[in-house]
Amino acid sequence: MDFDFEFFLLAGTLISGMIWGGWLWWFRKSGEAKEPLLVEYAHSFFPILLIVLVLRSFVVEPFRIPSGSMMSTLLVGDFILVNKFVYGIRLPVIHTKVIEVSEPERGDIVVFRYPNNPSVDYIKRVIGLPGDHIAYYNKKLYVNGEPVPLKPLGTYVGVGQNQRYNGAMMYEEKLGKAQHQMLVMPGQSSVEGEYVVPQGHYFVMGDNRDNSNDSRYWGPVPEKNLVGEAFFIWMHWEPSNPGVIFDRIGTVLQ
């Protein structure tokens, strides 16, 4: 159990609901019509907290991208929405799945609790499904013995904080149904090797292949750690130049 925002949101919802519900029970017995100040606050906050809890736990949750590991698909400063029910309905805080919905597909952009520190959320792309054989050599990805198709797109040119990756080579990569852009840095070394994905786990990598802390370093993601699928950019803001990038708002992720 992680004592994070979700925990305190759940606690606040339960406490305010119990205070308000307790007073309603007392009102029916005593006939007292005026709500005490504490009950007034609970009455006001309970429905708001309940709506936020339900939406955030079971429907959609906002996240902000803090690093460049998913460039050029996601930039530092992107604000995204994550579908929380697509991989199953889970109870808040304890994260136990109670309703099966679907499983991740190769190419999905997933948010998950970092296996080495579940209090931290990571975002990467699903490369390998349970049972897949993954290989990465000379900056080329192979899935079950087949090279993943790549199409050169030229040299990356970014703005703001993303300028640090200027000079990277851009490619269009096709993983399952997803056709997306990714980066590699010429001359920069990266970890190589072969991996077999265990059952109940997923192999994930960042689209910024030479600047991503992912399954190549710490292993696959257990299914129980999945949070949801990223699907939409609703805002982009970074304090440094250029601030808001309006043409990123409304981008559907793939």
Active site residue 29: no
Among candidate residues 16, 124, 212, 215, the one labeled active-site is 124
Among candidate residues 57, 69, 212, 215, the one labeled active-site is 69
Active site residue 34: no
**Around 61, how many Cα atoms within 13 Å sit in the side-chain half-sphere?**
19
Q: How far is CA 6 from CA 61, 82, 93, 111, 118, in A?
A: 11, 15, 6, 16, 13
Q: How far is CA 91 from CA 1, 56, 208, in A?
A: 11, 11, 33
| 242 upstream amide cis, omega within 30 of 0 | yes
Catalytic residues: 69, 124
